[in-house]
C-alpha cells in the first residue's frame, strides 16, 4: 500500500508540469562544486527529521591497474573505519551510536560508497566526523595487516557460495586485459599477499581519496544553503590530487570461451551464458536497449521463464542482468538447473533466446510495457530519503550528476524494436560469448 501511495505522490508531483513526460528523478536538487573538485548534491525531501548521507568515491576495483594489486578498493572499505588521531575508531563508533546513526559502506567495480542515516539535527556532527577520516585517516602497519587478513577471511567465506565462485570464474574467463577481469574482492593470490603491501596501501589512499574523485550526497530534511555552508566548513580545505589511472582497454573478442567450476559439495548446477555488452551510456541507445533485452528475455514475465521455471520446472532460478558499468561489461543470463542431465538443454534454450532478438522484432506494445515497467519500478523504490540517496550514489558514480538518471530514461523512451534488434546483432556474436557452468564433481 505504501509503495502505491509513493507512486501516486510521484504522479501528483509531476502531473501539472509543463513537460508532459515527467522526469524519472522527480526531486529538485542543488549541485555545487567546490574549488578543490569536491561535488555536493543536496536533495530536500518531504520526509521529516531524517537525513541520509552518501559519500561516493569514484574508485573501485576498476582502478586497480597494477599487477598483483587487486582488492585494494575493497580493502579501504575496511580501512576507512580504522580512525584518525582526533577520532580513533572507538570514539568514531561511540559518537555515531550516541546520535543513533545507521552507518555502512560498500565497494563495486566502479566506486566505493560510505553512507549514514541519522537525525537532521546531527548533520554537522556527521559531516565533521566524515571529513576527518577522509582527510586524516591514519593506521599502523599492524592494523593494516589485521584488516588485510580479515579480507582474506571474507574472500574464503564468500567463496563457499557457488554463485561467488561462478562469477569470479566468469569474469576471469571473459576478460583478458581490463580490470573487470577480477571481482571487487580481487584475485586470491593478491589477497594472500596483501598484508605485505602496507606502503602501497598508503599510496592507494593518497591517489584516490581526493576531492576530485568524491561526491557528497545529502538527502532529507535539509536546505541547500545550510548543507553547502557545513560542507564548505569541514571539506573545502581538502587538497586536490593529481593522479589518473590508465585503465587498460579490453581487446575485441575473437572466439567463444567456456569455463567450468567443479564443486566439492552437493549443489544444484548453474549455467551462466554471457556476451560482451555495452558500457553505461545516457546518450547512446546500446545500454538502454540491452537492459530491455535482459528483461524481455529472462525476467519472470519472459517466455523463457514461463517455459523453464513454470511449465517444465527444469530450472528453479532464471534471471538476466545488464549491469551499469563505466566501461564495456557483460550481459548475463544465469540459471540454476534442477537436474545435471538438463544442462545442455538449458544452455541451448538460453542461447536461442539471445539469438531470437537478432532475428525477430520485439512487438512494439510489449516493448512499451517493459519501458514503462522499468521507469516506474525505479520510481517506486524512491520512497524514503535513504533510498533516494542510494539511487543517486549509483548514478553519480557513473556520470557524477543526478541528471544522468533523467537522460537515461529519455533514452529508454526512444528505444524502438529495430534498436533492440540492431543491438542484439551487434553484441550477440559467437566471439563475444562466454559460458561458465558449475556442478558437483561427481555429477560431471
What is the rounded distance in angstroms from the CA atom of residue 142 to the CA atom of residue 139?
Answer: 8
What percentage of the chain exceeds 90 in pLDDT?
Answer: 92
Query: What does the domain layout of the chain look like in residue ranges?
Result: 27-235, 257-443
Express each pLDDT in 353-370 by its tens digit. 999 999 999 999 999 999
Paired with 115 in beta bridges are 54, 104
| Mean pLDDT lowest among 91-100, 137-146, 182-191, 434-443 | 434-443
- Please say if the pLDDT value at position 430 is more than 90: yes
* pLDDT on residue 376: 87
- CATH fold group of domain 27-235: Cytochrome Bc1 Complex; Chain A, domain 1 (3.30.830)
Strand, coil or helix: 209: coil
* Euclidean distance between CA atoms 114 and 20, whole angstroms: 36
Span 29-48, average pLDDT = 97
Decide if 81 contacts 139 (C-beta within 8 A). no
Alpha-helical (H) ranges within 160-244 are 162-174, 188-193, 198-208, 224-235
Rounded CA-CA distance 156/152 in Å is 6
Q: pLDDT tens across 52-88, in order?
A: 999 999 999 999 999 999 999 999 999 999 999 999 9
Neighbours of 250 (CB within 10 A): 18
pLDDT of residue 80: 97
pLDDT of amino acid 119: 97
Three-state secondary-structure class, residue 106: strand
Residue 352: pLDDT over 50: yes
pLDDT over 60 (residue 8): no
What is the pLDDT, as a whole number, of residue 188?
97
SS3 82: coil
| Beta strands 102-107 and 270-276, pairing class | unpaired
210 by DSSP, 3-state: which? coil
Q: In what order do the strands lie in the sheet with 270-276?
A: 257-263, 433-440, 270-276, 330-337, 315-322
Distance CA 350, CA 339 (A): 16
Q: In the prediction, which pLDDT does 254 show?
A: 86
Query: How many Å separate Cα 115 from the centre of its chain?
Result: 15
pLDDT of residue 105 exceeding 50: yes
Same fold: 27-235 with 257-443: yes
In the block, cell 579490453 appears at 250
- Predicted local distance difference test score (pLDDT) of residue 18: 42
Instruction: Say how far apart CA 7 and CA 15 lie, in whole Å.
Output: 12
Asked whether residue 344 carries a pLDDT value surpassing 50, the answer given is: yes
Segment 99-107 mean pLDDT: 96
Q: Which of 194-198, 204-208, 271-275, 381-385 has the lowest mean pLDDT?
A: 381-385
Q: Is 23 left (phi over 0), alpha (psi -120 to 50) or beta?
A: beta
* For range 93-115, the mean pLDDT: 97
Cα(30)–Cα(334) distance, integer angstroms:
40
265, with CB counted inside 10 A (0-12, 13-18, 19+), is exposed
Q: How confident is the model at residue 441 (pLDDT cuts 50, 70, 90)?
A: confident
Mean pLDDT over 250-255 rounds to 90
Specify the fold of 257-443.
Cytochrome Bc1 Complex; Chain A, domain 1 (3.30.830)
pLDDT at 11 over 70: no
What average pLDDT does the chain have? 94
Cα–Cα dist 172/98, whole Å: 44
Helix or strand run (H / E) with residue 219 = strand 214-220
Per-residue pLDDT reduced to its tens digit, 290-305: 999 999 999 999 999 9
What confidence tens digit (pLDDT) does each residue in 58-68 have? 999 999 999 99
Mean pLDDT over 205-230 rounds to 98
Task: Indicate the Cα dihedral angle 100, 385, 62, 423, nearest 10°.
Answer: 160
pLDDT at 6: 41
Residue 1 pLDDT exceeds 70: no
For residue 10, name the pLDDT band (cuts at 50, 70, 90): very low
Split at pLDDT 50, 70, 90, the class of 40 is: very high
DSSP 233-295: HHHTTPPP------PPPPPPP-S-EEEEEEESS----EEEEEEE-PPP-SSSSHHHHHHHHHH
Four-point Cα dihedral 140, 208, 329, 407, nearest 10: 140
Instruction: Give the model confidence (pLDDT) of 380-395 as tens digits.
Output: 888 899 999 999 999 9
Confidence of residue 22 (pLDDT cuts 50, 70, 90): confident
Strand spans (E) along 303-376: 315-322, 330-337
Instruction: Tell me the mean pLDDT in the region 316-324.
Output: 97
Which segment of 16-30, 99-113, 329-343 scores lowest on mean pLDDT? Answer: 16-30
User: What value, to the nearest 5°, has the Cα angle with vertex 205 and ends 203 and 206?
Assistant: 65
Question: What would the mean pLDDT of 93-116 be, rounded to a whole number?
Answer: 97
Pairing of strands 50-57, 112-119: antiparallel
Structure confidence at residue 2 (pLDDT): 35
pLDDT of residue 20: 56
3-state secondary structure of 297: helix
Amino acid at each position: 500500500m505504501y509503495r502505491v501511495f509513493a507512486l501516486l505522490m510521484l504522479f501528483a508531483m509531476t502531473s501539472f508540469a509543463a513537460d508532459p513526460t515527467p522526469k524519472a528523478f522527480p526531486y529538485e536538487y542543488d549541485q555545487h562544486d567546490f574549488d578543490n573538485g569536491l561535488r555536493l548534491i543536496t536533495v530536500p525531501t518531504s520526509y521529516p527529521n531524517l537525513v541520509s548521507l552518501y559519500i561516493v568515491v569514484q574508485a573501485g576495483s576498476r582502478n586497480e591497474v597494477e599487477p598483483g594489486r587487486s582488492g585494494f578498493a575493497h580493502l579501504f572499505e575496511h580501512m576507512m573505519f580504522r580512525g584518525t588521531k582526533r577520532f580513533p575508531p572507538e570514539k568514531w563508533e561511540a559518537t555515531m551510536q550516541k546520535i543513533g546513526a545507521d552507518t555502512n559502506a560498500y565497494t563495486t567495480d566502479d566506486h566505493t560508497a560510505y553512507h549514514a542515516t541519522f537525525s537532521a539535527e546531527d548533520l554537522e556532527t556527521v559531516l565533521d566526523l566524515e571529513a576527518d577520516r577522509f582527510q586524516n585517516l591514519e593506521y599502523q602497519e599492524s592494523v593494516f595487516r589485521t584488516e588485510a587478513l580479515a579480507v582474506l577471511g571474507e574472500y574464503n567465506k564468500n567463496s563457499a557460495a557457488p554463485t561467488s565462485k561462478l562469477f569470479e570464474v566468469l569474469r576471469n574467463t571473459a576478460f583478458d586485459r581490463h580490470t573487470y577481469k577480477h571481482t571487487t574482492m580481487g584475485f586470491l593470490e593478491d589477497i594472500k599477499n596483501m598484508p605485505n603491501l602496507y606502503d602501497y596501501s598508503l599510496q592507494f589512499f593518497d591517489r584516490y581519496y581526493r576531492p576530485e574523485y568524491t561526491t557528497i550526497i545529502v538527502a532529507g530534511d535539509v536546505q541547500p544553503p545550510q548543507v553547502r555552508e557545513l560542507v564548505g566548513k569541514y571539506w573545502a580545505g581538502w587538497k586536490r590530487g593529481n593522479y589518473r589511472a590508465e585503465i587498460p582497454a579490453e581487446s575485441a573478442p575473437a572466439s567463444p570461451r567456456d569455463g567450468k567450476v567443479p564443486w566439492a559439495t552437493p549443489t544444484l548446477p548453474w549455467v551462466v551464458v554471457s556476451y560482451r555488452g555495452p558500457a553505461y551510456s545516457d546518450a547512446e541507445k546500446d545500454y538502454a536497449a540491452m537492459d530491455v533485452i535482459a528483461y524481455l528475455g529472462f525476467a519472470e514475465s519472459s517466455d523463457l521463464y514461463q517455459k523453464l521455471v513454470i511449465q517444465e520446472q527444469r530450472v528453479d532460478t532464471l534471471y538476466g542482468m545488464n549491469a551499469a558499468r563505466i566501461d564495456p561489461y557483460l550481459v548475463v543470463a544465469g540459471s540454476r538447473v534442477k537436474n545435471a542431465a538438463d544442462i545442455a538443454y538449458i544452455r541451448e534454450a538460453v542461447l536461442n533466446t539471445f539469438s531470437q532478438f537478432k532475428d525477430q522484432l520485439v512487438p512494439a506494445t510489449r516493448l512499451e510495457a517493459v519501458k514503462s515497467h522499468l521507469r516506474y519500478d525505479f520510481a517506486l523504490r524512491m520512497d524514503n530519503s535513504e533510498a533516494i540517496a542510494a539511487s543517486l550514489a549509483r548514478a553519480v558514480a557513473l556520470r557524477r550528476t543526478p541528471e544522468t538518471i533523467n537522460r537515461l530514461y529519455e533514452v529508454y523512451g526512444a528505444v524502438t524494436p529495430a534498436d533492440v534488434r540492431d543491438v542484439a546483432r551487434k553484441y550477440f556474436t559467437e566471439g563475444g560469448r562466454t559460458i561458465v557452468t558449475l556442478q558437483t564433481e561427481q555429477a560431471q
